């Protein structure tokens, strides 16, 4: 099943940890803080456990750490609307983030 993973994480360090973890798990980066992956139940569980480990260390009062995983269809994903300054930006490895 196709899953959309998106995150809003204020700490640069944790944000990098999450994006590296998602890449390691074979998900595709489609936007600066959005990944897409076709996952069976065991890979989904594995993803959730790993993300909970990364998010275990609670941050300060004004720090944000949110990761949401939602099932979507390819058709729904194609209908997405993106409003972003990230167009054409490259990430650490030079991958074009759109």
Residues that contact its own copies, how many (by CB under 8 A): 36
CB of residue 63 to its own copies, shortest distance in Å: 7
> Contact between 68 and its own copies (CB under 8 A)?
yes
**Is 62 annotated as contributing to ligand binding?**
no
Instruction: Collect contacts of 23-32 with beta carbons under 8 A, ≥24 apart.
Output: 25/50, 29/91, 29/95, 29/97, 30/98, 31/6, 31/82, 31/84, 31/86, 31/97, 31/98, 32/84, 32/86, 32/89, 32/91, 32/97
Cβ 36 to its own copies, closest distance in Å?
Answer: 11
Residues contacting residue 40 through CB under 8 Å, at least 6 positions apart: 1
Query: What's the token pair of residue 28?
Result: 């595709």
- Minimum distance of its own copies from residue 21's CB (angstroms): 12
Residue that the structure tokens 């569980």 belong to: 45
For its own copies, the closer of residues 40 and 85 by Cβ is: 85
Contact pick of 24, 40, 81, 93 for its own copies (by CB under 8 A): 81
Residues that bind its own copies (CB under 8 A): 4, 6-8, 10, 31-34, 44, 48, 51-52, 55, 58-59, 63-72, 76-77, 79-86
């Amino acid at each position: 099943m196709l899953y959309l993973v998106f995150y809003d994480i204020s700490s640069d360090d944790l944000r990098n940890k999450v994006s590296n973890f998602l890449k390691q798990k074979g998900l595709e980066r489609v936007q600066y803080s959005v990944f897409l992956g076709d996952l069976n139940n065991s890979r989904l569980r594995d993803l959730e456990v790993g993300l909970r480990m990364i998010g275990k260390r609670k941050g300060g009062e004004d720090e944000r750490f949110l990761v949401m995983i939602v099932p979507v269809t390819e058709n729904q994903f194609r209908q997405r609307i993106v409003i972003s300054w990230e167009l054409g930006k490259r990430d650490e490895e030079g991958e074009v983030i759109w």
